[in-house]
Amino acid sequence: MKVTVLGKYGPFPSAGGNCSGYLLEGDSTKILIDCGNGTFSQLQKYINYWEIDAIILSHLHMDHISDCFIVHYAFESAMALGKRQTPLYIYTLTEPYDTYSLLGHKDVVRTKPIDPYDNIKIGNFNFSFYPTVHSKLCCAIKAKYNNKVLVYSADTEYFAGLVDFVRGCDLFICESNFISQDLSLGSSNHMASFQAGQLAREGQVKRLKLTHLHPEKPEDIVLSEAKAEFKDAELVSEGEVIEI
């Protein structure tokens, strides 16, 4: 399984940065996990966009979905030019419904509703989901391929229920939108990086990568606080390709 980090920021990007998006590849299967702003441009550095098998959205906050709306135009063009014959499917939660209802486009981009405990198969990948603690309904995503397991936390607070979901995975890509000081000040809906480290340690994951970084939080503090809990924690970088 190959994971390419297309965007690492949330809830808005730094200058020249991008929001959440991860390209998963295994043999001929190509799946985009989240489609935040900037990620569709980044995607085209690595593959022909019309070759994506599907998009899976963790939740319907704009920093995870906003490029879906220009994907409409791209796939309309790809169909018209004969580069693509079949619709692109977006697997997504249906809440909030007003946002969900905007994700499909004509007969070129269609939606497939998922629920927070679903198991689905796309190409060579098996996916399962787990509801997180966030301000909107949101799912952590587990991808299995060739006996390798990736877990992506999506957006969430720390909660003990995630430990079993991440347990023993080969790669855990975990949000770290906060530093410890934010929690002291009462911030909610996201994790501080030390909690990502704590989850990784408790779940005995093989590798931890920190993502969904806030552009105004110092990355050295994000990393050092995570390392205090899980010494091999690493920050993702945009354009990074991770083989597992």
Minimum CB–partner distance for residue 90 and Zn ion (Å): 17
Minimum CB–partner distance for residue 87 and Zn ion (Å): 27
Interface positions with Zn ion (CB under 5 A): 10, 63, 155
Minimum CB–partner distance for residue 244 and Zn ion (Å): 23
155 or 238: CB nearest Zn ion: 155
d(C-alpha 93, C-alpha 137), whole Å: 8
66 or 94: CB nearest Zn ion: 66
90 or 191: CB nearest Zn ion: 191
Q: Using CB atoms, what's the residue nearest to Zn ion? A: 10
84 or 212: CB nearest Zn ion: 212
9 or 91: CB nearest Zn ion: 9
119 or 135: CB nearest Zn ion: 135
Minimum CB–partner distance for residue 62 and Zn ion (Å): 8
d(C-alpha 232, C-alpha 180), whole Å: 19
Minimum CB–partner distance for residue 18 and Zn ion (Å): 12
Minimum CB–partner distance for residue 134 and Zn ion (Å): 8
Q: What is the 3-state secondary structure (H, E, C) of the chain?
A: CEEEEEECECCCCCCCCCECEEEEEECCEEEEECCCCCHHHHHCCCCCHHHCCEEECCECCHHHHCCHHHHHHHHHHHHHCCCCCCCEEEEECCCCHHHHCCCCECCCEEEEECCCCCEEEECCEEEEEEECCCCCCEEEEEEEECCEEEEECCCCCCCCHHHHHHCCCCEEEEECCECHHHHHCCCCCCCEHHHHHHHHHHCCCCCEEEECECCCCCHHHHHHHHHCCCCCCEECCCCCEEEC
